[in-house]
């Protein structure tokens, strides 16, 4: 039985120095990246036992926008704010049903490091990107790495509403 850890890096945010780091907001592009990630995950028919988010504004807003389509309410989790590790990820997976999934929304370089520590794979984790890792005991396998433009295409292809 293998659980899955899905990681969503926050969307594009205001530049550093605009306001204190924890208060930096998403740009309009970052908002759309976040919505596209939610649409794509829903189109892939992924369901999550929980969605956890960093308390930083840009990550929290990414989680809220993605969750609109996923139908879950994100849980603010301070451990995702910085120095998120494999041990933290495993703690969040405690209590998840066998073969269950969680989605965590947060930051780089933590997410790229967690993927590396679990799988041995180095990934270029773009803002608004998603990675999925299957965990089987102590081993991890990268099962998905989707860039924002790929997430947008998946979400658009599955959207039944007519084009504007």
Residue 140, in any domain of the structure: yes
Q: What is the CATH number of the domain that holds 112?
A: 3.40.50.1240
| pTM for this entry | 0.93
* Token pair recorded at residue 15: 């530049």
pLDDT tier at 57, thresholds 50, 70, 90 = very high
Find the domain containing 21 and state its range: 3-158
Residue 164, in any domain of the structure: no
The structural domain count of the chain equals 1
CA–CA dist 38, 68 (Å, integer): 7
Residue 64, in any domain of the structure: yes
Residue 106, in any domain of the structure: yes
Residues 60-111: tens digit of each pLDDT: 999 999 999 998 899 999 999 999 999 999 999 998 888 899 999 999 999 9
In 3D, which of 57, 49, 67 has the Cα closest to residue 8? 67
Non-local (6+) Cβ contacts of 42 within 8 A are 69, 70, 155, 158
Residue 49, in any domain of the structure: yes
């Amino acid at each position: 039985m293998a659980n899955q850890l899905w990681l969503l890096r926050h969307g594009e945010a205001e530049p550093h120095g605009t306001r204190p780091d924890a208060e930096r907001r998403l740009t309009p592009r970052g908002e759309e990246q976040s919505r596209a990630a939610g649409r794509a995950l829903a189109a892939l028919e992924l369901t999550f036992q929980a969605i956890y988010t960093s308390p930083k504004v840009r990550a929290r807003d990414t989680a809220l926008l993605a969750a609109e389509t996923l139908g879950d309410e994100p849980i603010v989790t301070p451990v995702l704010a910085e120095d998120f590790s494999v041990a933290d990820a495993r703690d969040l997976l405690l209590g998840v049903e066998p073969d269950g999934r969680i989605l965590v929304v947060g930051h780089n370089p933590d997410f790229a490091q967690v993927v590396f520590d679990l799988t041995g794979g180095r990934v270029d984790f773009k803002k608004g990107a998603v990675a999925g890792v299957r965990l089987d005991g102590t081993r991890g396998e990268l099962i998905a790495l989707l860039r924002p433009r790929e997430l947008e295409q998946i979400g658009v292809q599955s959207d039944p509403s007519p084009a504007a």
